[in-house]
Amino acid sequence: MEWELRPPRHSVDRRAIRWWAVQALAWVLPPVLVLGSLAALIAPARSWLLGALLIVALPGAVYALLMPARRYRVHRWEVTEEAVYAASGWLWLKWRVAPMSRIQTVDTVRGPLQQIFSLSGVKVTTASAAGSIKIHGLDRHLAAALVEQLTARAQAVPGDAT
Partner 1 sequence: MNRREAAWERLDARTVAVSLSWLAGPSIPAAAAVVTLGPGPRTLFPVAGLLIVLAGIAARGLLRHATLRYRITGERIEVRSGLLFRRDRSVPRDRVRAVDLTAGPVHRLLGVTVVRIGTGGQEADLRLDAVSRSQAERLRLLLGRAGGTSADSDLVTARPAWIGYALLSSWTPLIGLAPFGAFFRVLEMFGIEAAGVGFLREVWSGVSRLSWPVAAGMALAIVLAIGFTGALLLHVEVWWRFRLTREADGTYRIRRGLLGTRSLSLQDSRLRGVQLAEPLPLRWGGGARLSALVAGVDPDDDEERTSAALLPPAPRRAALRVAARVLGAPVLAAALRPHPPAALRLRLSRAVWAVAVPAVPLAGLGLWTGRLPDGLWLLAPACLLVALLLSADAYRSLGHGTAGRYLLTRHGALRRRTTALRADAVIGWTVSRSPAQRRRGLMTLAAASSAGTHRVKDVRVGQGLAFAEEVVPGLLRPFVVPRSPGA
CB nearer to partner 1: give 26 or 127: 127
Are residues 102 and 161 in contact, defined by beta-carbon separation less than 8 angstroms?
yes
Nearer CB in complex with partner 1: 53/84: 84
Report, in Å, the least distance between residue 10 CB and partner 1: 13
CA dist 113 to 25, 59, 72, 147, Å?
A: 12, 23, 17, 20
CB of 4 to partner 1, least distance (A): 5
- Taking the complex as a whole, the smallest distance from the CB of residue 41 to partner 1 amounts, in Å, to 30
Q: Which is nearer to partner 1, 43 or 129 (CB)?
A: 129
Q: Are 12 and 72 in contact (CB under 8 A)?
A: yes
- CB of residue 130 to partner 1, shortest distance in Å: 4
CA pair distance 162, 149, nearest whole angstrom: 21
Q: Which is nearer to partner 1, 47 or 128 (CB)?
A: 128
**Residues binding partner 1 (CB under 8 A):** 1-6, 8, 78, 80, 82-83, 85, 89, 91-99, 102, 104, 126-131, 133, 161-162
Give CA separation, 118 vs 14, 61, 62, 121, 148, in Å: 12, 26, 26, 10, 18
Residues in the chain: 162
Work out whether strand 119-126 and strand 133-139 pair parallel, antiparallel, or are unpaired: antiparallel
